[in-house]
Structure 1
């Protein structure tokens, strides 16, 4: 299958419009804080949600609204998480009603999301007074504004769109995401909104999304904190004209493969934009006895605060890699473990047979001073592999989170 990157963000698939405005939840008037994605037709829809026991009120409302696998719009605010509030669910439901009235659709066909500070009451008045402006701003070029409006401490918008062929029809999948801190998914730790014009049954859409999450968004960690609010949702307009995908087979596999690439792209962007991050970390584990074991080890390494700090300092402290491997909750043999560090500046072997080898610290420093660092761990204990995505731990992470509310 050939994937071609295209312009347009979440509006690239047929039928979708988007917008983003400043409504006043955030004090910075230059910052958009209310986003809308709308489809001109009813869509098959699905979502996956955080596993944190404390969940944002919008998740409860969205779960109910997506029970029938149908949606037509997404509304999302930034600056306030609408979490741990007595009136949270009512406010989330009211957001659905407000935008549904503007769009002349039913509130039950709206996906609602919020992101920002936990435990502060969400003011509904700014949202209510700006839903008309949000609708009026809808356009085929509105993806960028919507992607900006969902950002919190993100440093840039995260968007992608691709086209591919399915049964002789040109199809498209796109997505936007936000996430910079409180990122350690078990779905999820961020917000991701996906759109597609593929014609697919809601149950199969849910199956494809769930299959993609495990090795993409769920393999990201910035700081080890699993968020209360975040989710990844997808709407499928069916306007590509392909034969309905209502069972597994070649067309389902092709769609899932394309969706996987979109999710992987966004997941890597989220990891690289971790709060205060100066480097992206990509850890691949090969030769593991099981897929689950490979996933756990890769994630253990990129979650280690000690290792992340070493990468910030461009220090090839491979012992921290072995330590993180060793406390992973999985059954495997570590005796033959080999660790190689690499970047665009080259690669260097730092550990073999679970023991150190002679290497040039100066060469390692050059390799680890680049913007993306790859950590290859070979266990020689099986055939499975997995990749996790993270970032280094810098002084700025503490600064950002030390005064996040103020």
Structure 2
């Protein structure tokens, strides 16, 4: 375990979405995809308070509509059924019926009311769900708590991802140990405000849905909404948090003395998952982290960081190990944030490239060596205030074009 001194948050090595007590998972191959698992379920042994955020794309997939409808009833969930390989988006009335069927079959399998089951899908848009494959396999899902169950579930989420993504953290809150675990998928069609991101987060914290929703929105704005791979926004994004209360802590509210600790715990879990998604961008070789300090507001800082990390020219320069800082400055200028163009400092890793908007001499050999790292950090100081913000992305490579030129084949 690794303990972060400032917040007393503990990273649980090899933790997962079922590390908080009371959760089980399953995953299997139904045949929607050629090989890897493509159908999974996350189950809570007791009804949970739930919160969710969704894609901002105006065209939203059928599972989004079904899940929103279920959440509207009580803001409580006990299971989430997930498929990969087919997005069930732009599939009309049949798509809605298929999403409802997935929900009802899962509810029947687990002996739950249908509105306590959420539905999530990811994959190719505009193709009807092959329910002849999905439907019979829902009944074959066998939930459990072993490492094998977790591995099967995490694989069932993936599309073009090259690795599974999980995170787990703990903190002491009011004398009780609170655990938050999560699993996610995401590789392409990812931009700020989420894109082909599915993330399922669990916790044993006692917290009402109203405040869980507030916490998730705040955490998402700092994490999932601050990553980009290619600038495209999916029809299917969804982040759901389930809180079962088994930690038996005093119910968390914004007035709770440890509310800040809970927020840091949730945000850290989301940030970890977000960085894994950015690192696994289609064809990517590097994670890119942009931090902006010295801004007037945190919103300004994040907006500039997003502009830089979203720039195709910046991303290709990083792939090519080219310290073309002019592309970084250009992104700052078109970000829409009011700045002083004469007071900008910039660094790539430990190397200063700009001071007060004037170029600094640097060693090409030193910066080329830095670009060999699998994480590239860019620091911008606007020298306008005390606010700051971060965004994450990846480099843009030849493989990105190759992968997406043949996605359906």
Do both share a fold (TM > 0.5)?
yes
Deviation at 1:74, TM superposition (A): 0.7
Q: Give the equivalent residue in structure 2 for 1:260.
A: 267
Q: How does 1:292-331 map to 2 (within 5 A)?
A: 292-331=299-338
Is residue 390 of structure 2 the alignment partner of residue 387 of structure 1? yes
Distance 1:311 1:187 in 2: 23
Does structure 1 residue 235 correspond to structure 2 residue 238? no
- The question of 1:60 aligning with 2:65 is answered yes
1:152 to 149, 159, 174: 159
Select between 237-246 and 57-66 the one with higher mean Cα deviation.
Answer: 237-246
CA distance in 1, matches of 2:174, 2:152: 33
Change (3 A) 1:197 1:243: same
5+ unaligned residues in a row in structure 1: which ranges? Answer: none
Distance in 2 of aligned mates of 1:102 and 1:181: 32
Check whether the contact 2:187–2:196 (CA below 8 A) recurs between aligned residues.
no
CA distance in 1, matches of 2:71, 2:394: 33
Task: Report the number of matched residues.
Answer: 399
Q: Cα offset for 1:355?
A: 2.4
Local SS of the residue matching 1:365: helix
What is the deviation of 1:145? Answer: 1.6
Q: CA deviation at 1:244?
A: 1.7
State the Cα distance separating 1:321 from its structure 2 match.
0.4
Give 1:5's match in structure 2, choosing from 1, 4, 11: 11
Deviation per CA, 1:130-172, whole angstroms, max 9, x where unpaired? 11221x2433432222111100010000001122211111121
| 1:397 aligned onto 2:400 | yes
Tell whether 2:55 aligns with 1:50.
yes
* Corresponding residue for residue 3 of structure 2: none
| Superposition deviation, residue 206 in structure 1 | 0.5
Give the SS at the match of 1:129. Answer: helix
Distance in 2 between residues matched to 1:14 and 1:319, nearest whole Å: 50
After TM superposition, the structure 1 = structure 2 runs for residues 187-206 of structure 1, keeping only pairs within 5 Å, are 187-206=194-213
Correspondence for 1:139 among 135, 138, 145: 145
Question: 2 CA distance for matches of 1:381 and 1:334?
Answer: 11
SS at match of 1:130: helix
Deviation at 1:247, TM superposition (A): 4.6
Secondary structure at the aligned position of 2:202 is classed as: strand
| CA-CA distance at 1:27 after TM superposition | 1.7
Tell me the equivalent position of 2:89. Answer: 83
Deviation at 1:253, TM superposition (A): 2.1
Partner-residue secondary structure (3-state), 1:11: coil
Instruction: Report deviation, 1:189.
Output: 4.1
Partner of 1:210: 217
The one of 249, 258, 264 aligned to 2:256: 249
TM-score under structure 1 normalisation?
0.96
CA distance in 1 between counterparts of 2:111 and 2:310 reads: 45
Q: Name the SS for the 2:17 alignment partner.
A: helix
Q: Distance in 1 between matches of 2:114 and 2:56?
A: 25
What SS class does the counterpart of residue 247 from structure 2 fall into?
A: coil
Instruction: Indicate how the Cα distance of structure 1 residues 321 and 395 shifts in structure 2: closer, same or farther if over 3 A, else same.
Output: same
Residue pair 2:195, 2:232 contacting (<8 A) in 1 also: no
Q: Distance in 2 between the 1:404 and 1:311 partners?
A: 25
Is 2:76 aligned against 1:70?
yes
Give 1:185 shift: 3.0
1:362 alignment counterpart: 365
- SS of the residue corresponding to residue 23 of structure 1 reads coil
What is the SS of the residue equivalent to 1:244? coil
Cα shift readout 1:190-228 (whole Å, capped 9, x = no counterpart): 111000011110101101101101111100011111111
Deviates more, 1:281-290 or 1:325-334: 325-334
1:19–1:138 CA contact under 8 A, matched in 2:
yes
| Equivalent residue number for residue 279 of structure 2 | 272
Q: TM-score, normalised by structure 2?
A: 0.95
Over 3 Å counting, the alpha-carbon distance change for 1:366 and 1:260 in structure 2 is: same
Return 179-188 or 273-282, whichever deviates more.
Answer: 179-188
Secondary structure of 2:222 counterpart: coil
Following the alignment from structure 1 to structure 2, what is the Cα–Cα distance between the partners of residues 128 and 225? 31
2:4 maps to what in 1? none
Local SS of the residue matching 1:320:
helix
Match of 2:122 among 112, 115, 137: 115
